[in-house]
Amino acid sequence: MIDVIIGKEGTQKFPINNPRVSRQHAKITVSDSGLWTLEDLNSTNGTYIIDDDDELVQIKKINITEFTRIVLADQTSMGFTFYAHHILEDDPLNYRTEFQHVLRIHDKAIKEKMELDAQKQKKNMMRFMPGIVSAVIGLVLTLFLPFNQKVYGLAVTAVFTAILQALINIYLSKDTKLKNFNAKYSNKLICPCCSKPLTEMEFKNQMCCKCQAHA
């Protein structure tokens, strides 16, 4: 069993100098069966986790995972943020495991993005529809309307095409899936050490260029 007191005077191996963090702020326990627990030790500014929806949630005592992001003190960026896993590192500067975790999220995001793009490409095929439909209607009307009414056929086709075009444009402009995608990943693809959003280049190099944390 591992039992680590987190705080300015805690037993964790990494230093915490944040003035808003209590001396003994929270406790992380890892049971022999691998169950992780986080408990607030009546800290002055509270203990929070960032949940799957990127919401900051204040906790008293809660089961967590190795890769739960913990925020000591505060709901602002003034707090001290770290992955629970970091208590296992002997070298405080080693962010390899956490970086690999972020890389896995990144790979998942890339796959989802590719699926979204494929779906979008299919949807974009609909842009051809008004043209095709109006050609068919125009042809049918021209063939079957009596000669003196063919002009109405043209008018009907034009109006119908315009309406269809407008509806399809409205449909295609509503890209909620992309919005959801961005909301889901924007706060997760960040450096596990300094919380800087990571660029594609940094993912490719598997290293944060600001703090040098790497996989």
Q: Contact positions toward Zn ion, by CB under 5 A?
A: 191, 193-194, 196, 208, 210-211, 213
Q: How far is the CB of 191 from Zn ion (least distance, A)?
A: 3
Minimum CB distance to Zn ion smaller for 169 or for 212: 212
**Beta strand spans in the chain (E):** 2-6, 26-30, 36-40, 47-50, 56-59, 61-64, 69-72, 80-83
Alpha carbons 23 and 12: distance in angstroms, whole number:
12
Q: How far is the CB of 96 from Zn ion (least distance, A)?
A: 13
Task: Compute how many other C-beta atoms are within 10 angstroms of the C-beta atom of residue 208.
Answer: 24
Q: How far is the CB of 169 from Zn ion (least distance, A)?
A: 42
Minimum CB distance to Zn ion smaller for 184 or for 196: 196
Minimum CB distance to Zn ion smaller for 159 or for 209: 209
Q: How far is the CB of 129 from Zn ion (least distance, A)?
A: 48
Minimum CB distance to Zn ion smaller for 40 or for 202: 202
Minimum CB distance to Zn ion smaller for 40 or for 98: 98
Collapsing DSSP states into helix, strand and coil, what is residue 38?
strand
**Are 37 and 61 spatial neighbours (Cβ–Cβ below 8 Å)?**
yes
Within the chain, how many helices (H) and strands (E) appear? 5, 8
Q: How far is the CB of 88 from Zn ion (least distance, A)?
A: 19
- Angle (deg, nearest 10), helices 150-173 and 96-124: 170
Alpha carbons 123 and 133: distance in angstroms, whole number:
16
